Amino acid sequence: MSGSVTLRAKAEIPPGHRRFLEKVKLRGSFGIGAGIFSKPSTQEGVNKLSAGTRGEKDPADPETVLTDLAGQTTDQISAATLDNAASIPSAVGTPP
């Protein structure tokens, strides 16, 4: 995926003799705005999902849509969780 990346975090590096990556703690949030998936089949699926929510039934060539992702980092640098993972234009449901 490519897009505009934002990162806001606090790092804690406690004293000790462990390796840097074993002891560093990072907490914060990140986002990718106006993202496009690098794998064509994934982007095509997102495009079709967005087109379907606009009422377009099986479009031959759906427009490319941009996706926003956001998440929060956890205690370990190697782990992250996605909260409210994706925002896809037109893919917002309304109650009946």
Q: What is the pLDDT of residue 85?
A: 52
- State how far the Cα of 25 lies from the Cα of 77, in Å rounded to an integer: 7
Q: Is the per-residue pLDDT at 90 higher than 80?
A: no
Task: Return the biggest CA–CA distance within the chain.
Answer: 60
Residue 76 DSSP one-character state: S
Q: Is the per-residue pLDDT at 5 higher than 80?
A: yes
Where is average pLDDT lowest: 18-22, 63-67, 82-86?
A: 82-86
The single residue listed with the structure tokens 């993202």 is 35
Half-sphere exposure of 58 (CA within 13 A, CB side): 0
Burial class (CB within 10 angstroms; exposed 0-12, middle 13-18, buried 19+) of 31: middle
Portion of the chain with pLDDT greater than 90, in percent: 4
Provide the pLDDT confidence category of residue 78 given band limits of 50, 70 and 90.
Answer: low
Q: Is the per-residue pLDDT at 94 higher than 70?
A: no
